Amino acid sequence: MKGTEWDVIIVGAGPTGGRAATHLSSLGHRVLMLEEHSEIGRPFQCAGLVTPKALHEVGLYDSILEEVDGARIHGPSGTLVPVGTDGKLRTYVVCRKKFDQGVVQQAMEAGATLWLNSQPLSADSSDEHVSIEVNKNGVKCNLTTKLLIGCDGAHSWTRRYFKMGRPKEMMIGFQAEVLGYEGNSRWLDMYSGSEISPGFFAWVIPSGFGSHRIGVWSTPERLNGRSVEQCYDDLRSHPLWKDRFTNTKEIARFCGPIPSGMVRKTVTNRVMLLGDAAGMAKPTTGGGIGPGFKQIKGILQPLSEAITTDKLTEKSLKKITTKHFTAMKKDQDKARALRNLLVSDVPDKELDAHFTNFAKPEVLQLINEIGDIEKPVPLGLALLKKVPAFRKLALKAGTRLLFR
């Protein structure tokens, strides 16, 4: 093989691209990662929550900034629902720069090549290969690959270039890193209500060395002309919680999109989308690292065989991906339907009533037993089935979607 011919070219060396490159290189394929920035993991737009499952998969323990045992969730009028148990770890907070760099380093150790300051300019997919024109450090070069994988994030060039659809929802997230927030050690805070995070929630996450990440997210339709920064300001000055923010000092600000809702076409001839590029972030938490990892892991063996035998037509790729991707999409759709039903499409007064129910000891016990950030659907369904106050919602839910 020449230096211009690859088995797999991955556009984007974020966590999904790095993970896909590690898997495919480990299986003996020649993999090139193209990253448009001069450094991995910068700029980052992330709260840094990584589930134990995703973290254990890569073993990047030196990227951990904090361990989190639970969340203090606040209803619009202040009802507190603490979910979690002291000493029982629920999730990790990582340094995204270290985490992303670690994931990409693993790919290189497995044999993948990384080009920084590089991005595709055009591509053409034929029966033989995909030919790509790449800008590498300002110099144009032509490459060919058997398979092109777009792991290039929320605004994916690959997705747009090959007209593969759009994520169902594109949430907008805003986050500030602050010093001096009055929180509880090993617990994160979540705040709800139409003023501060319409349809969603605001978060305050301990991020090590006395700092916290304060964030809000919502959809443009729900924001109705307001900006997420305004929501953030409203959280900081909210009569119920402003005391917690009085002594905070901002040290950084970030804003970014969160694509959730798998795109119409995840594959086309010799092209595939993974991670944020495919719209994989969770509708309930916005987490996209775990789903990106899961998406590639579930198709690895058949994909590797298809690369080896060069069977990478749209039909072949669909055969490889349909079962796994459809199951992930169904889960995402259910989680979104439950989120809308219980939180997002609910006026504050009704949300307050839900919080009163969530805070009842027997419901809290259920939440703590079944609640899992990775799998919100079983908890949502259990709440609808087992909590009398929520039963009438189950009917309203359009049971076809939730219980099919």
Ligand X SMILES: Cc1cc2nc3c(=O)[nH]c(=O)nc-3n(C[C@H](O)[C@H](O)[C@H](O)COP(=O)(O)OP(=O)(O)OC[C@H]3O[C@@H](n4cnc5c(N)ncnc54)[C@H](O)[C@@H]3O)c2cc1C
Stretch of 10-18, 161-169, 186-194, 308-316 lying at the interface with ligand X (CB under 6 A)? 10-18
Task: Report which secondary-structure segment, H or E, holds 175.
Answer: strand 169-179
37 binds ligand X (CB under 6 A): yes
Minimum distance between the CB of residue 313 and ligand X, rounded to whole angstroms?
Answer: 24
> Should residue 215 be labelled a site residue for ligand X when binding is judged by CB under 6 A?
yes
Distances (CA, A) of 39 to 7, 80, 117, 241, 344: 24, 41, 8, 38, 37
Listed ranges 6-14, 66-74, 75-83, 340-348: which one lies at the site for ligand X (CB under 6 A): 6-14
Residue 12 binding ligand X, by CB under 6 A: yes
- Region near ligand X per CB under 6 A, out of 14-22, 231-239, 261-269, 326-334: 14-22
β-pairing verdict for 5-11 and 139-150: parallel
Name the residue type at position 208.
G
**CA pseudo-torsion sign 277, 278, 283, 288:** negative
Angstrom distance (rounded) from CA 324 to CA 229:
37
Name the strand (E) or helix (H) holding 316. Answer: helix 314-339
13 binds ligand X (CB under 6 A): yes
6 lies in the binding site for ligand X (CB under 6 A)? no
At its nearest, how many Å lie between ligand X and the CB of residue 286? Answer: 5
Cα–Cα distance measured from residue 290 to residue 378, given in angstroms and rounded to the nearest whole number: 18
Alpha-carbon distance 197 to 286, whole Å? 13
Using the rule CB under 6 A, is 153 a contact of ligand X?
Answer: yes
**Region of residue 270 (phi > 0: left; psi between -120 and 50: alpha; otherwise: beta):** left
Binding-site member from 113, 119, 131, 313 for ligand X (CB under 6 A) = 119
Q: Out of 8, 46, 81, 307, name the contact with ligand X by CB under 6 A.
A: 46
157 is an interface residue for ligand X by CB under 6 A: yes
The secondary structure element, H or E, covering residue 353 is helix 348-358
Per-residue buried b or exposed e for 51-84, using 16+ beta carbons within 10 Å of the residue's own CB: beebbebbebeebbbbebbbbbbbbbeebebbbb
Give the count of residues interacting with ligand X (CB under 6 A): 34
Q: x/- binding map, residues 273-312, to ligand X, per CB under 6 A?
A: --xx----x----xxxx--x--------------------
Query: Which of these segments, 33-41, 182-190, 309-317, 391-399, binds ligand X (CB under 6 A)?
Result: 33-41
> Does residue 330 bind ligand X (CB under 6 A)?
no
Helical ranges in 110-238 per DSSP H = 157-161, 220-223, 228-236
Check binding of 70 to ligand X (CB under 6 A): no
CA-CA distance, 237 to 120, in Å (whole number)?
45
Nearer to ligand X, 79 or 218 (CB): 218
Q: How far is the CB of 276 from ligand X (least distance, A)?
A: 4
Taking the least distance from each CB to ligand X, the nearer of 104 and 383 is: 104
Binders of ligand X among residues 341 to 400 (CB under 6 A) are: none
Yes or no: say if 135 and 119 are a contact pair by the CB < 8 Å rule. yes
Selected from 6, 10, 31, 35, the binder of ligand X by CB under 6 A is 35
Binding mask 249-278 for ligand X (x = CB under 6 A): -------x-x----------------xx--
Instruction: State the residues that interact with ligand X by CB under 6 A.
Output: 11-17, 34-37, 45-49, 119, 151-153, 157, 173, 175, 215, 256, 258, 275-276, 281, 286-289, 292
